[in-house]
Chain A
């Protein structure tokens, strides 16, 4: 399955989830905030020109897969599109770290920037898809910087990077309760060099899958 198809599927599944999630709510509840309705479906901002949108017709006809319950898609209508607040519990409790699964998905950033480059979107989408299919797992996103900023500035910037990735995951339908962030600033470089090549490898966000011990 190519990447665009994956994105489209995520978007479609998310639309279905929203539909069924809303139908359970009392009528006087505020509609899901902007970003999760109509053409601004999750993932739709990733499409270049609207081809991937779960638009009219599609969303009407699409039937819910029997093996995917709406709750497992992880969209909590009370949080979607609104606050980016981090979860309150410790997502690492009772979980084991898996640094291998998403080793190839490390997201790289421009110097002094926390915006996600378009070249990195597919990596995040693949992580989102994996998480959506795996309800027992949580995720830690580690943010990192190169050494050219000052230390505490970098610690905040690396957190901002991890949060940008997290927001993208949530927009793709991953429950905000399942993703936490860990900022390392310039303290854990991937490459110990002091040149452009090393710096470009150090400005990154890494994904650590947190899984129950029995499933490791």
Chain B
């Protein structure tokens, strides 16, 4: 990105940080917005790398023992072991061994335990993401661990595959593929490899997302003559048209109770966020405090926040209370997807067909690239 706009984005962040940080902190995590200093001692190789990455993503700073509030100490076993100590009183919080699986999965499990012990929240180190990459030329959907490890290509359509979305609680995706020459929506079971076309109407079929309760799909279809928001049962039947604007709708996402859909519409000229009851009704504009060109909303799993992308020359991630209000600029980037902890976001950074996935810890604003993925990557979706 260009330097002036980067500085601009940083200035925006700095200006709004204090007020937002306090509110977010109090309501969301109960933790200090300052990162938590932790020493990680005795680990080598892959285990050391994984622990450092996981803990930094979740708002810790890995520091020397003398400056640490907590210390994680390795054990002597062949498998990953860990003893977590509160350096203030030298009390151990836990001492555990992690046999079985790979060193990566052992280390991820340990870092989840550290996060749980220190913050009280479930970790995300063993979750998965799906995304689009042009590695190898065609645009295909890939699935990997949240840190980019163990990536595999889920599609081989050799055309354009885009907009992957997880089916909640399952190793299954919905995505858009141009396999048939135009955008159609497919459902893909990653455990069996079976897939089926869910929406293949003439015109546009895209941006499908499954409700958190797993019973319905929100999707953008143009079969009625304009890109509108539709809802169906999970198998694609019982289609119902929710919007009838002349302008285009895009990017639906669900509230955690599966009752409301937030989406983008150009109804009033500029792209803005709207909400509508999943059962139908009036679409209502979501206030974003005067921020225009809002796209790509994603509702946090705890229901409190909506993250979105402001597209105005450059892309900037914002967070707004789910009921509307002042939107807060977080960092440069696009297409946010919340982890199940309602704290971490995976998003896309970079331009010019050299985009990469990054992880954002919202309370501390720390951003770390997902390093292990090559190709120009975008449209990440976090399994939850």
Provide the residues of chain A in CB contact with B227, threshold 8 Å. 156, 159-160, 163, 183
A133 contacts the other chain (Cβ, under 8 Å)?
no
In the complex, the number of residue pairs spanning A and B with C-beta atoms less than 8 Å apart equals 125
CB nearest to B223 among chain A residues: A86
Which DSSP category, helix, strand, loop or mixed, fits chain A's interface? loop
Which of B222, B251, B313, B351 lies in contact with A153, CB distance below 8 A?
B251
CB nearest to A82 among chain B residues: B225
Shortest C-beta distance, A137 to chain B (Å), equals 17
Provide the residues of chain B in CB contact with A159, threshold 8 Å. 203-204, 222, 227, 248
Provide the residues of chain B in CB contact with A157, threshold 8 Å. 248, 250, 266
Question: In chain A between 192 and 213, which residues have their CB closer than 8 angstroms to a CB of chain B?
Answer: 192, 194
B296 touches A156 (CB 8 A): no
Instruction: Report Cα–Cα, A192/B352, bound state, in Å.
Output: 9
Interface string of A149-167 (1 = CB under 8 A from B): 1111101110110010000
Provide the residues of chain A in CB contact with B313, threshold 8 Å. 148
B222 touches A163 (CB 8 A): yes
A171 contacts the other chain (Cβ, under 8 Å)?
no
Provide the residues of chain A in CB contact with B378, threshold 8 Å. 151
Interface string of B247-268 (1 = CB under 8 A from A): 1111100000000000010100
Which of A114, A153, A194 lies in contact with B295, CB distance below 8 A?
A153
Provide the residues of chain B in CB contact with A151, threshold 8 Å. 162-163, 335, 378-379
Instruction: Report Cα–Cα, A103/B247, bound state, in Å.
Output: 27
Question: In chain A between 82 and 102, which residues have their CB closer than 8 angstroms to a CB of chain B?
Answer: 83-92
Instruction: Report Cα–Cα, A183/B184, bound state, in Å.
Output: 10
A152 touches B207 (CB 8 A): yes
A148 touches B203 (CB 8 A): no
A86-B201, A194-B351 known; A155-B223 Cβ under 8 A: no
Instruction: Report Cα–Cα, A188/B138, bound state, in Å.
Output: 11
Which of B202, B206, B226 lies in contact with A155, CB distance below 8 A?
B206
CB nearest to A155 among chain B residues: B206
B202 touches A153 (CB 8 A): no
Shortest C-beta distance, B296 to chain A (Å), equals 5
B203 touches A163 (CB 8 A): yes
A187 contacts the other chain (Cβ, under 8 Å)?
yes
A44 contacts the other chain (Cβ, under 8 Å)?
no
A183 touches B183 (CB 8 A): yes
A156 touches B248 (CB 8 A): yes
Interface string of A87-131 (1 = CB under 8 A from B): 111111000000000000000000000100000000000000000
B364 contacts the other chain (Cβ, under 8 Å)?
no
B160 touches A184 (CB 8 A): yes
Shortest C-beta distance, A96 to chain B (Å), equals 13
CB nearest to B264 among chain A residues: A153
Looking at B220, B248, B378, the one whose CB has the most chain A CB atoms below 10 A away is B248
B113 contacts the other chain (Cβ, under 8 Å)?
no
CB nearest to B134 among chain A residues: A187
B128 contacts the other chain (Cβ, under 8 Å)?
no
CB nearest to A157 among chain B residues: B248
A175 contacts the other chain (Cβ, under 8 Å)?
no
A182 contacts the other chain (Cβ, under 8 Å)?
yes
Provide the residues of chain A in CB contact with B311, threshold 8 Å. 148-150, 153
B271 contacts the other chain (Cβ, under 8 Å)?
yes
Which of A85, A148, A194 lies in contact with B223, CB distance below 8 A?
A85
Instruction: Report Cα–Cα, A114/B183, bound state, in Å.
Output: 19
CB nearest to B183 among chain A residues: A183
Provide the residues of chain B in CB contact with A114, threshold 8 Å. 247-248
Instruction: Report Cα–Cα, A83/B204, bound state, in Å.
Output: 17
Instruction: Report Cα–Cα, A86/B200, bound state, in Å.
Output: 12
Provide the residues of chain A in CB contact with B223, threshold 8 Å. 85-86
A84 touches B250 (CB 8 A): no
B118 contacts the other chain (Cβ, under 8 Å)?
no
B384 contacts the other chain (Cβ, under 8 Å)?
no
B309 touches A155 (CB 8 A): no
B181 contacts the other chain (Cβ, under 8 Å)?
yes
A85 touches B225 (CB 8 A): yes
Shortest C-beta distance, B309 to chain A (Å), equals 5
B224 contacts the other chain (Cβ, under 8 Å)?
yes
A92-B181, A148-B313, A160-B226 known; A153-B203 Cβ under 8 A: no
Hey, which bits of chain B sit against chain A, CB under 8 A?
139, 160, 162-163, 176, 178, 181-183, 201-204, 206-207, 220, 222-227, 247-251, 264, 266, 271, 295-296, 309, 311, 313, 315, 334-335, 351-353, 378-379
Question: What would be 21 A-B contacts, judged by CB atoms less than 8 Å apart?
Answer: A86-B203, A86-B224, A87-B202, A149-B295, A150-B309, A152-B162, A152-B295, A153-B250, A153-B271, A155-B163, A155-B206, A156-B204, A156-B249, A157-B250, A159-B222, A159-B248, A163-B225, A182-B181, A184-B178, A184-B183, A185-B162
Q: Which 5 A-B pairs have the closest CB atoms?
A: A84-B225, A156-B248, A156-B250, A159-B204, A86-B202
